[in-house]
Amino acid sequence: MTLRMSCGLLIYLLAIGMAIGCSGDGKPQPNADLGASVDGASGEARLTWLGTLGGSESYAYGVSDDGSVVVGMTLNEAGKRQAYKWTPERGMQALQALVTGAESSASDVSPDGRTIVGWSHTRTRPDAEWITRPVVWTADGLAREMPVPELEGGATSVSADGQVAVGWTTVLSERPLAGEARRYVPHAAKWDVSRRIQDLGVPGGFDRSWANSVAADGRVIVGAALQIDTRTQRAFQWTARSGIAVLPLPQGAEGGWSECLSVAASGARAIGWIQAPQRMQVPAEWTLDDTPAVALLAMPRRAISGAALGISGQGEVVIGWVTFADGGQHAVLWDEQRRLFDLNEVYREAILRSVSNNPEAAVLRSASAISNNGRFIVGHGYNPDSGRIEAFLLDRGARRSS
């Protein structure tokens, strides 16, 4: 569910309970409607399907500010996960893995499109098992492994200047299970300009953590922490001044789970999801300051789950997905007033123009990242021309207002 997370961090969600909707102020709104027009939407919007590298699926996880670089993961001809970089001039091209034949994924790209981070499998010897390592790809296209203190790690996000990367790394657990000589657990991690690593630790009472996103200046980092014994998961923020601390849950969600998936470039707002006990997963937004606050984002009627995945530079626009009782999933957008819109309705004309075979079957299923200026959105959906789940790039056009 967390699209940018590396393999090895599978978190089992609580069972989906009864459906409710919530407005931007956190009050229940059972009959929230999906809007069909949004401020700033332009008739010049254009949708581009990015294809694959010979496989059956592709996903987009990051986009540069000018929309000229998209990164993500695709299945290749062998059915293996492959990191890619897409540009209008060259289309989708594979990014180098640490070892020939290894699986990999690109998680994020800097606003100027020059620095890409993610993960790649590698081996310590030819007959050894695959392990995951954090990787940075720079303008020369070569993969450079970033250091880890123990065994494994992965990068999920990069700062505006490409000088700070965040993600996770494994550390030795202080509490190995009975019969185990050693046990590794993930901790949120930060790499600086020289790719030196800093273990961000865990909040009090937790034993695992991972970082999902970093603000433009590298000073605010968000993610989630897990207490495996109690199966408690909470969103966190990290700052150089205050260290790592859990973010609040809304009233009525005590004992629930949460995860922060993305922070605005400004570092003032962050988004993700919350799941109260015995209820569905819903998109959420946190205001980050000395006393963080949380609000639940609007959900459409008949929705059974949802999450916010991306946020523009100053927090004006939020994007993500919602799932309906019939199994359908749609990419959605919340505007500056946090009104909810279905991208499939707002940009229907652009979607119809993007395909020639059975265009009514085309659907944008999830929006995973948005440029700082709010113009470009990437994600994945169903392309009837190819009959595949494919990454897409949506250019909303020059916006009339923010």
Tell me, what CATH number does 81's domain have? 2.120.10.30
What is the C-alpha to C-alpha distance for residues 203 and 196, in angstroms, rounded to an integer? 22
- For the chain, what percent of residues have pLDDT higher than 70? 86
> Is residue 397, in this structure, part of any structural domain at all?
no
- Per-residue pLDDT of 143-190, as tens digits, reads 999 999 988 999 999 999 999 999 999 998 876 655 565 788 999 999
Eight-class DSSP state of 262: E
> Is residue 9, in this structure, part of any structural domain at all?
no
**216 or 398, which is more confident:** 216
- Mind spelling out the 3-state secondary structure of the chain? CCCCCCCCCCCCCCCCCECCCECCCCCECCCCCCECCCCCCCCCCEEEECCCEEEEEEEEEEECCCCCCEEEEEEECCCCEEEEEEECCCEEEECCCCCCCCCEEEEEECCCCCCEEEEEEECCCCCCCCEEEEEEECCCCCEEECCCCCCCEEEEEECCCCCCEEEEEEEECCCCCCCCCCCEEEEEEEECCCCCEEEEECCCCCCEEEEEEECCCCCEEEEEEEECCCCEEEEEEEECCCEEEECCCCCCCCCCEEEEEEECCCCCEEEEEEECCCECEEEEEEECCCCCEEEECCCCCCEEEEEEEEECCCCCCEEEEEEECCCCEEEEEECCCCCEEEHHHHCHHHHHHHCCCCHHHCEEEEEEEECCCCCEEEEEEEECCCCEEEEEEEECCCCCCC
- pLDDT value of residue 127: 86
Nearest to 83 by CA among 116, 51, 111: 116
Global confidence as pTM: 0.90
- pLDDT value of residue 114: 95
pLDDT value at 283 more than 50: yes
User: What's the domain range around 254?
Assistant: 61-313
> Is residue 262, in this structure, part of any structural domain at all?
yes
Mean of pLDDT over the chain: 88
DSSP-based three-state secondary structure for 246: strand
Of 28-32, 185-189, 235-239, which range is least confident? 28-32
**179 or 92, which is more confident:** 92
Q: How many domains does the chain have?
A: 1
- Per-residue pLDDT of 325-362, as tens digits, reads 999 999 999 999 999 999 999 999 999 999 999 999 99
pLDDT value at 46 more than 90: yes
- pLDDT value of residue 173: 81
Token pair for 178: 């009975």
> Is residue 42, in this structure, part of any structural domain at all?
no
> Is residue 346, in this structure, part of any structural domain at all?
no
Of 85-94, 181-190, 238-247, 361-370, which range is least confident? 181-190
What is the C-alpha to C-alpha distance for residues 284 and 106, in angstroms, rounded to an integer? 25
> Is residue 26, in this structure, part of any structural domain at all?
no
> Is residue 343, in this structure, part of any structural domain at all?
no
> Is residue 238, in this structure, part of any structural domain at all?
yes
